[in-house]
Structure 1
Amino acid sequence: MASYADHGSVEWVESGGGPLIAIPEGVLPFWTGADGDELATDYDRACDVDGFIGLLPVGNATALVLGDDPSATAYLPEHDTFVRWCAAESEVEVLAGVPAALDAAAWEGEVHWEIPGTVVLFDAAWPGNEAGRAGHLRITLDPGRYAVRAAYAEPGPETWLGLVQLRRLAH
C-alpha cells in the first residue's frame, strides 16, 4: 500500500488491509486486536462488521469500526468527519473534494455512539496498548452521544472518498 503520510497537511492512518477502529482512550488496554488464544479475536469481530461503520463493545465503552475499505483515513474536525482516501492523485485533490462530497453524499442509516471523550483511531489488528507504536490518530471529542453516518462519494471523476461524519446529539 502506498504511504500517504508524507503528503503533509493532515495526518493519515493506514491499515495493513483490514478495518480501522476508533476506541475511547480509557479502554484501549481491553482491545486485543489480532492477538489472543480465542477462536475469534477482537480483530475478527471488527472484520465481521458489515458495511462502512459499526459499533463494538470494548471494556465498558463502545468502539467505532470503519469497515468495508482499508483506505488511508484522516479526521477533519472542521467537518466532524473521518475522510477515507479511496482514489485521488493527491492529498490536495482529496481535501478539495470534501465539501462537494459532503453535499452530494447519499448517507446510509446512522448509528448512535456514546463516548467518554478522546478516541484513538488505528488499525484494528493492533492491540490497543500498542496503538501508539503503530500509525494512529488521537482525536479529542467532547463526551456524549453522537449520531454517526457514512457514505461513499465521488466529488470528481478520479476522486473517490469514504465519509464517516459525527454529529453530537443533545442530551
Structure 2
Amino acid sequence: MARYAEPDTAVQWVESGGGPLIAVPETVLPFWTGADGDELASDYDRACEVGGDVGLLPVGDSAALVLGDEPASTSFLPEHGTFVRWCAADSEDEVLAGVPAALATATWENEVRWDVPGPLVLFDSAWPGRDSEGTEHLKVDLEPGRYAVRAGRAQPGPETWLGLVQLRRLPN
C-alpha cells in the first residue's frame, strides 16, 4: 500500500497496475476472479468495459463498485464518505487540503444506487478477491444499506486535480 507521509499520519493509497480499481463487498470477495477464470471474458475484462468514472458489476449475490477511467492512486476518506483519486498534485498534503473545495466545486455525474452488505475491500481489479489480502488493498468499513454513489472531478488548486467518488447512505 502506498504511503506518502509519515506512517502515523499517512493516508493509505491503493494503486493499480494500469486497470480499474474495484471495491468489492467482503461477503462476496471469493466470487471475484480478477483476470483469472475459464470464461471467455474475465471479471477484470468486465471491469475494463465499464464506461465513465464509476459502474456497478454483479458479484455473487451483490455488486462491486468499479472506479473506472484512469488508474489514479485512490484512498477512502470516511469523514467525507468519499474515495479520493489523486490525479495530479505535488504532495499528499495538497491532495488532502484540496478535498473540501473539490467536493464543493466538483462537476458531478449522475448518481447510481448501490446496495452494500457491509465492509468493502478496494484493490486492483486484475487480482482475484481471494488474493486481495496479499496485494495492495484498503478495507473500507461501511454500514450495510443502500447508498447513492456519484463521481466527479475538480481542480481545487492550480496544480491539483482530483477525482471523487462520494457515497451517501440513503434512508431505509
Q: Which residue of 1 aligns with 2:43?
A: 42
- Report sequence identity in percent: 69
Deviates more, 1:152-161 or 1:6-15: 6-15
Q: How far, CA to CA, are the matches of 1:74 and 1:6 in structure 2?
A: 12
Q: Report the residue type matching 1:102 in the other structure.
A: L
Unaligned regions of 5+ residues in structure 2, if any?
none
Q: How far, CA to CA, are the matches of 2:4 and 2:106 in structure 1?
A: 28
Contact kept, 8 Å, 2:4 with 2:92, in 1: the verdict is: no
Q: Report the residue type matching 1:158 in the other structure.
A: E
Q: Which residue of 2 aligns with 1:162?
A: 163
Deviates more, 1:4-13 or 1:46-55: 4-13
Q: How far, CA to CA, are the matches of 1:11 and 1:55 in structure 2?
A: 23
- Spell out, residue by residue over 1:130-169, the C-alpha distance to the aligned partner (whole angstroms, 9 max, x if none): 0011100111101000000000111111100000000000
Secondary structure at 1:132's aligned position in 2? Answer: helix
With normalisation by structure 2, the TM-score equals 0.96
Q: Which residue of 2 aligns with 1:130?
A: 131
Q: Which residue of 1 aligns with 2:3?
A: 5
* 1:16-165 correspondence to structure 2 within 5 Å: 16-165=17-166
Using the TM superposition, give the Cα deviation of residue 65 of structure 1 relative to its aligned residue in structure 2, in angstroms: 0.4
With normalisation by structure 1, the TM-score equals 0.97
Secondary structure at 1:62's aligned position in 2? Answer: strand
Secondary structure at 1:131's aligned position in 2? Answer: helix
Secondary structure at 1:92's aligned position in 2? Answer: helix
How many residues of Structure 1 are paired with residues of Structure 2 in the alignment? 169
Q: How far, CA to CA, are the matches of 1:162 and 1:59 in structure 2?
A: 28
Using the TM superposition, give the Cα deviation of residue 39 of structure 1 relative to its aligned residue in structure 2, in angstroms: 1.6
State the superposition RMSD in angstroms.
1.0
Unaligned regions of 5+ residues in structure 1, if any?
none
